[in-house]
Each structure stands twice: as C-alpha cells, then as structure tokens.
Structure 1
Amino acid sequence: YARKKKTRQRKKMQIEALQARIDELKTEFLGLRQIVDERYTAYILLVMSGAAENGSGASFLSSSAEGPSTLGSKFTSASLAQIIGRDPDAEDDKEEAPQKRTRRRGKYTPAEREHIRRERNRMHAKRTRDRKKLFLEESERKIAVMEEENAKLRDFLTRHGMLDSKNAVPKPAPRDTSLDRDVEDFDAEDLEEDDLEEEEDLEEDEEIEDCPEGTKILATLGREARDDESDSGATSGDGLSSSDFSKPPSDDGVSVAF
C-alpha cells in the first residue's frame, strides 16, 4: 500500500510541475508580447503626430518579417486554458450516460458478480492510466513548442535592442526533470498498482446492471482480461502505443501580426 501511495504522489507531483511550467512560459510570453505591443503603439503615435523619423520605427516594422512569422504560440489560446484547468483524474466519468438500473441479482452467481466487478475495476484503472499518460505527453509537447516560440520572440526583441534592464522579462528557470521517468518505468509501476488495486480497492457491493447484452458480459470481460495479460507479457506494460498519439488534437492559433 505504501508503494502504491508513493507512486500516486509522484505522478501527482509531476502533473503539478508540468502545469506550473506552462504557467511560467505563458507569463513569459505575455511579458514579451507586451514589449512588442508597447513599442508598436509608440511608433503609431509618433507617425500620427508626424514626428516619426524615416529610419527610427521603419526599421522595426520592416524587420518584423525577419523575425518569427508568428510572434506567439498557438498553445496560449483557449486550448492551453483547457489543459491548465483540466484534471486528469476527473475525466471520462461522463463517457457513459446514466441509465436506469434494475436489480436482478438472481441472474448471476456471486462468483460471476465478483468476476465482473474485478474486470470493471481493471478496465477503469487502465482507462485512468491511459488518460494520465496522454495528458503528460500532450503537456510535454505543448511545453516544448512554447519554449521554442518564447525563445524566438526573445531573440527577435534582443536583436532590435528592445530588451534592457528597464523592461527585462525574467526567463523561467530550466525545467526540473527529477520527477520524469521512462515510459517503461511508468508501465511497470502501473501494473503493480493495478494488482494492488484489485486486492485492496474493490468496490464492496456494486450492482450488476441488467442490459440486453447481459449474457455476453462475462465472455467479453474474460476475453479482454486474457488479451491484457498476453499484451503485458509481450511488452513492458499495458501502456499506449505510439500510434495512439500520432494524431495530436487541433488547436486554434493566436498570432500577433503587425
């Protein structure tokens, strides 16, 4: 039990660290973009007052094409807010619409009900692991893109002398990777955690739902259990394959155009 609790705490700390890193990068981006907006606004005011010189602001505007094509990350839009505010432990409960249950315990023997309850817990644990793993990979991918975009924007401002001691934007500290583990390590610990969860965290008396396919429940769950066991023997765990993440979700871009 102590090992399972330690594993869950470490995973929770890793998720919190990723969310904190996203917040730091978003703050850095907003500070850098504010400098661009202020300089551009000042130049527009000079042009409107007729006091702009030919070489002062024109070079800044003309050099915008040399800088990053999009001064900002598309991951700072509403999609980022979804990731920051999303709790990977509180999802997928709405996958199945609530249906009216009828209690007919005579349809299954106590041994069959116990087997179904164990298999349902096993399937729920696997969905939770897959969801957390997807959340971690998506967060790491967004962090990498945001770091690249912020670096381009910071380089653009530095080359044009727009960053000095007065308007310097602090650069976030390097990311702490002490909590990171390989995928194989996660899968091995997930398997151990799954075994412990079957032994200790079984629901006491879950009702068996009466549905038209009730006669197929035992056969289906038993086949899935055997498939999971065979897959865990061929691989390091029952984690996701690379094809599960080959199609990233689309995000609405937010660009800063001049």
Structure 2
Amino acid sequence: MPFALLLPALLGLAFLLLPLVALLVRAPWHSLPEQLTSPEVWQALRLSLVCATAATALSLVIGVPLAWLLARTDFPGRGLVRALVTLPLVLPPVVGGVALLLALGRNGVVGQWLDSWFGITLPFTTTGVILAETFVAMPFLVISVEGTLRAADPRYEEAATTLGASRFTAFRRVTLPLIAPGIAAGAVLAWARALGEFGATITFAGNFPGRTQTMPLAVYLALQSDPEAAIALSLVLLAVSIAVLAGLRDRWMTAS
C-alpha cells in the first residue's frame, strides 16, 4: 500500500478509535458496579429498552409494507416518496423533534384534533418517546427491506399467485421468508438507532425521569453533575453498540 495512502488511513483509524479508548481509560472501573446498579440507571435502561423495542415493532408494522410499496410498485412520484422516507436519516434530530411537535403537539396539525376529540396528548409522554424514536429509526428498516426486496426474485411470488394464492398470501408465505434476513438486519439497525436517539426525544418528549428519560438523556444530564455516572452510562451504550455490530457482522462486514 502506498505510504501516501497508508498515513492518512492510520490517522483516520486513530481519530475514530481514540475517543473510544479514552472512554475506556477514563472509566471509573472501581465504582462501576455501584454506578450501574443505581435505581436511576436501571430506570433509564428499562425505559430505553422498552421504548426502543416498541419503536422497532411499530417500524416493522408500517415500515415493511412501505418498503414493499417502494420496491414492487410503480407509481407517480415514487422517487419523491423515497426521498421523503429517507429524509430523517439526514435531518437534524432536533428539527425532527420540532416537526413532531408541530404535527402532533397539542396545537399541532393533527395533535389538536387528537386532543379535542379523544383527549390524547402525545408530547412529553412515553408514547411520545416511542414516536420520536420511530421517526428517526424507521428509515433504516425501510432501506434495508427495500434493498432485500429488490434483490429477491419476484417470480416466486408471481408463481404463487398463478397457483391460486392471493397477493397477501403470496407475500406472507413466499416473499416474507425470502426477505427475512433483510428484515432482521433492518430491525436490529432500527432498534440500535432508537436506543441511541437523543435530539428528537428531548425536543418532543422532554426529559422526565421514569417517563421520558432514556439512556442518552440520562448521560447528558449526568455529564453536568456527575461525570463518572455519565461515563458509566456511556459504557452501557457502547456495549450495546458493539453487540449490534457483532450481530450484523455477517451482513455488513466482510468475512475473512
């Protein structure tokens, strides 16, 4: 490898690894068990796991059909729809939170009707956390499933329909098993993204312990008053991220 490429490559690797190494070096290992067993940590961790799992489930319910629509149907404006679906990937999360407030807040475009007709208030609730995480995480699932659908041979589904199966039955019995690995990978990515969401959550749902304070919000709060607790919480999220990468190594990393 030319030295002109090797040097910047090593610098790039060092730049990416140095913050992680610093986190491990400065971790309060002596007080880590005490930090991680505090009620506040377990409360934030439990809420994070519940909300991320619920957001992933919601993403599966509405994201898989959306991916199928983008991959298997041709309609006017499909490119624009795909761009809008992937917009949360590049949209600043705080902007996403503001957009959710304008749409689903008490005075929002839809939220005002939810409040007046059904008495449903979404901002600053656990449900608001789930919706904020779904907004930022679902595009990861849609992209993964759409790519898998495009790679899958549609003739299997067509053969099932010619044998008498309905379109939905063919999708459920033939297409879903074929794209299951893509759905699983997309779900894991969406879950990891939901677990680490901060900007949209704090803007739309606030930071209330036991109700909306997830792990990233707890890290931010602890960093201002108890840096050791913030590092301990960061180590938990780091461990989860490593576990996600390990689970996706066969799909996203080249096997040796």
TM-score normalized with structure 2 length: 0.24
**TM-score (norm. length: structure 1):** 0.24
Larger RCO, structures 1/2 (Cα 8 Å, 6+ apart): 1
Query: Which protein has the bigger helix share?
Result: 2
